[in-house]
Structure 1
Amino acid sequence: MMSDVADLISSKRMMMKIVLSSLALAVTAMADYKPTTLVQGAAAPEFSLVGVDGKTLKLADVRGEKATVVIFTTNHCPDAIASFGRMTALVDAFQSKGVGFVAINSNSPKGLHLAELAFTTLDDSYEAMKVIAKENEFNLPYLYDGETQEVAKSYGAVATPHAFIFDADLKLKYNGRLSDGRRKLGPAKKNEARDALTAILAGEDPEIIKTRPIGCSTKWLEKSGKVAQVDKQWAEQEVSVENVTADEVSKLVANKGGSEFRLINVWSLTCAPCIMEFPDLAKIYRQYSFHKFEFITLNVDDPTKDRAKVTDFLKEQELGIHRRIKAIVEKEKRTTNNFIFEGDTEDLAKALDPDWSGALPHTLLVDQTGKVIFRHTGVVDPEELKKAVVAEVWRIYGE
């Protein structure tokens, strides 16, 4: 049974490599799209987009009597995520004063590779927008432009978030950032969008009419070729396997080498649940590789008889050493992040996790101090594991 599973995975992996290589060659000459942003005084372009509630809205549906704010944002970008609270606070402050608001997801999910989702458990899809709007209690429509990106291109949205503020006649009076909050949670020090609205409602021109919307670049569909190139790089990474002792496992858990996260998984080739969950773990490894995220695999099969099979399987999973953690591996005088345990499994349990029952698979996530922030015996729920990672990410970056 296990050989059949391995053969199936290997076949699918080979087909994927062929597809990715073909795609990369097809788009090598494709230049990135460069938007042209609306100039001061330009009229607000029309749009007709579906929102998270399933309703299609046009510009006239969100237009305010005295001003209209169009905010291009998205689900995954840390700058956007950190701005959600400030965005809804802006709506609360001005909506009752005749200002209309709308948020538009300008990103194409096809223009994103996994590591760009390093601050979230979600992607930039329409379905994920519904989760974002609910969890963040959006008090303005959230519309989807990721299919064609025609609206984002007509406004010239360059980053997320990027705000465009129009007067009563739908003439552009301000475009740029909402505030200087960037990736910090909570109130900002400078609030140019708020100041612009205050001026417009007072019948005046904003003192500041343009700022740079520093944030994640808009993920244009044209970027899909670069996504294929990144996937190809992962596929080409060298994968090796070394023996490891209980003492060495103890050092890996202590995580004194500098990893922000160290995901450790104990598994066996004869364990069907272990094989089943590996694609999810490999995907999580990629997704959070923007951080110093290390995936340590601990195999408990026979180091002498099974090394070649273990190595082949891990190659199929593309579990090489990512460039972000090479220095950490070298600092700890290691050559790999994949190991076969040699010794008594009782010693392994004591070194790894005294709370481990011995059942496979077993997974630990430790932070940069070696503290266990997630543990699970059995097949991991990838969403629960990602939530643990993201909670720690925002603890570090959101202060």
Structure 2
Amino acid sequence: MSQQHYASFATRPETSRGRLHETEASHTRSVFQRDRDRILHAGAFRKLQYKTQVFVVHEGDYYRTRLTHSLEVAQIARSIARALGLDEDLAEACALAHDLGHPPFAHAGEDALQAVMEPYGGFDHNEQTFRIVTELEQRYADFDGLNLTWETIEGVVKHNGPLGGAGQKPLRPSIVAFDQAWPLELDRYTSAEAQVAALSDDIAYNSHDVDDGLRSGLIEVEQLLEVPLVGDLYKAVLAAHPKVDAARQRYEVIRRMITHMVDDLIAETKRRVAEGGVESAEDVRGLGKPLVAFSEGMREKDKGLRAFLLRDLYRHTKVNRTRRKARQIVSELFECYLAEPECLPQEWRRQAEAESGEAGRARLVADYIAGMTDSYAMKEHRRLFDLNALAEK
């Protein structure tokens, strides 16, 4: 994007606050393009291909995974950023990175890790994403992590908004330590680009979870007709295309749903820009509330849709049974590795044995499990607990 196309409140790559570890500039890519590329080439990003979105990978090849979800979030984020005159590459980088810290089996895996890690500081996938990009991903000779720009790290750590305010959970030690070394202004809002990425996440999972839920048969079209947002769209599609097959009708609804939410977000954001007198990227951070947002009407519809998905899809009996198995796999793996670190792969075993306290070993075990794909976690569990798998290596 050339400079004349930037909105006044966009984050420009030439004014980036830089990287923690100074790196020679690229002659062909902006700093935010390099961030995007580093995320795309990260091992943690590739693993998302085999990590659960809603349905565990063995349940079907056509359901969305964390990888396809992240790519869809990035596409939506780029489209919105372009419409608002923002830096598309920064929005895309934040979108691609936002789920790197998810353990296997989605929120079931996270719940299990949080439970077993409770005595050792807990587990949170957003913090894990932050730790991956700042220390755990080890690819470069000169530094740990991906050495992303300040703006991308800010977008990652504040994916859900400012941190450390009244009524919020205490800041995680890893975030506190990094912030002391390189202040991230944790109590302020992020750039407009990072805010776009966060809400693109909402748009993607709302629409595509409806799609996967219908495809799986766990929810039916008739259930959706009175659900906020999607119900009116379905009625309109059924009226306009009654003879089209159900799969095409479903796709048309999802397409319209995304468009409807994107258009609402763009219109509301432009209204807030005018109302708040926002003229610079710093104005965005100091506004005291999100600049990028849905209208009040859309927020109410979104709330109703989420309630439906929680009740009828995420807590469906079939999904709950899978979640129970997933929690058991993660919990038992953790207990085994913590009690018997000799069961870990050699490089992880050496690190575990070098840890002086149980809390450090527990965090290392959690890091190892969080990096597993669904299929690898199931395979490891079978190797360790299935007596019929004694011959497996």
TM-score by length of 1: 0.25
Of Structure 1 and Structure 2, the greater strand share is in 1
Of Structure 1 and Structure 2, the greater helix share is in 2
